[in-house]
Amino acid sequence: MVGRNNSFEVEFILLGFSDFPHFHDILFGIFLVIYMSIFLGNGLIILIAMIDPTLQTPMYFFLGNFSFLEICYTSITIPRMLTDLWTQKQNISLLACAVQLGFLLMLGATECFLLTVMAYDRYVAICKPLNYPLIMNHKMCVQLVSCSWTIGIPVQLGLTYQIFSLPFCGSKKLNHIFCDIRPVLKVACGDTSVKEFSLYATVVMFGVVPFVLILCSYIRIIGTILKLPSAMGRSKAFSTCSSHVIVVALFFLSVIVTYLQPKSAHSEGNDNFFLFSTPL
């Protein structure tokens, strides 16, 4: 009981920017500009999609939700990073770390499912255009988005609880720019193999399965597009999917490299790079 009670007093130290002590002001400015750009850009997309009658379509409904998700996603990490750079303090409490990780996992699962829903929307629009208004009606769109936002919450909260129920002893230094699963498990005491298995199972459930569904959708989409008689029609169809394909490729590549690579090949530096190379 004493060990469990003391665990609530644990503070981690984020070492992500410790190698650049003389560039904190520059990094603060860079990340502030990035955050404001993400916030204003995605906010503008949401506003335009809401007020423009010509954009009241399923595609822009999903895009508005995706933009809101990106605002939430970056708001979990960047404001905290800006505070650390401004105050030059790198410590974060166990509770704050758990809350940050929990929200990141839930929003990450939501992103996987939203990307899958957007792929399904493009599949119906291109492969079944005559039935598109009937299949992708407003009720169906709301149900798909609601499921995307909520379906991963119980599992991700359970995974977060499993991780932070471990005892932490010795070094509390996380070689990362925010609280993530691998850096936290690295400083945990005892056997973490069960938690690591839970991590892999979660990534397969919320990462690999949606990716396979998206891949199947685009195989059907490409097959349909190639059958179109006119080059202009094929070009227009491809253009409606190109941005989504780029987002899917970058996002799932970062997830695979960050969470599914073996320990022997794992590097926190690679994590930082790939997590910030995802489309924000």
Model confidence over 2-27: pLDDT tens digits? Answer: 444 455 567 888 887 777 667 778 88
Is 123:221 a contact under the CB 8 Å cutoff?
yes
Is 81:177 a contact under the CB 8 Å cutoff?
yes
Residue 9, pLDDT score = 65
Residue 226, pLDDT score = 83
**Cross-strand bridge partners of residue 271:** none
- pLDDT digit string (tens) for 230-266? 777 777 777 777 777 888 888 877 777 766 665 555 5
Rg (CA), the chain: 21
pLDDT above 90: percentage of residues in the chain: 30
Residue-range domain boundaries for the chain: 2-277
Among the listed residues 69, 150, 157, 77, the one whose alpha carbon sits nearest the alpha carbon of residue 115: 69
Residue 4, pLDDT score = 47
Spans of the chain below 70 pLDDT = 1-9, 20-21, 170, 258-280
CATH of domain 2-277: 1.20.1070.10
- Burial state string for 159-198 with b = 16 or more CB within 10 A and e = fewer than 16: bbeebbebebeeebebbbbbbbbbbbebbbeeebeebeeb
Residue 96 to residue 92: CA distance in whole angstroms = 6
Residue 53 to residue 55: CA distance in whole angstroms = 5
